[in-house]
Amino acid sequence: MLDFMMVASSLIMIFCGLWSFTAYHKHLLNSLLSLEFMMLGVFWLMSIQMAAIGVEGYFTLFFLTLAACEGALGLSLLVLMVRSHGNDRFMSFNLLEC
């Protein structure tokens, strides 16, 4: 019963992150935060599944490292967008200006 609750809560995290990614996509920071929330849910689900089958946690640590690198890349793009355009709204970006 506890395993089902943990898997269900991680799936709820993933779907809430997906919903917030589609619903609040006006700002780049909101999109990045919802992507990180989805990655955290996937990490939790993967950790539960790896622990259930008895595999070492090296792959989950590798996934967590890649998620942290993705977050750092997203924040650097956010800083670049704010410095070049003045804000992080998607509607103010023009494809021809870049």
Given a cut of 90, whether residue 41 has pLDDT beyond it is yes
What global pTM score does this model have? 0.84
Confidence of residue 94 (pLDDT cuts 50, 70, 90): low
**Cα-atom radius of gyration of the chain, to the nearest Å?**
17
Quick one: three-class SS letters along the chain?
CHHHHHHHHHHHHHHHHHHHHHHCCCEHHHHHHHHHHHHHHHHHHHHHHHHHHCCCCHHHHHHHHHHHHHHHHHHHHHHHHHHHHCCCEHHHCCCCCC
* Chain position carrying tokens 């967590």: 64
Q: What is the pLDDT of residues 49-62, one digit of tens each?
A: 888 888 888 888 89
Q: All domains of the chain, ordered by start, with CATH?
A: 2-92 (1.10.287.3510)
Does residue 95 carry a pLDDT above 70? no
Average pLDDT over residues 8-13: 94
Residue 71 to residue 63: CA distance in whole angstroms: 12
> Which two three-digit tokens encode residue 72?
């750092």
Q: Which residue has the higher pLDDT, 27 or 97?
A: 27
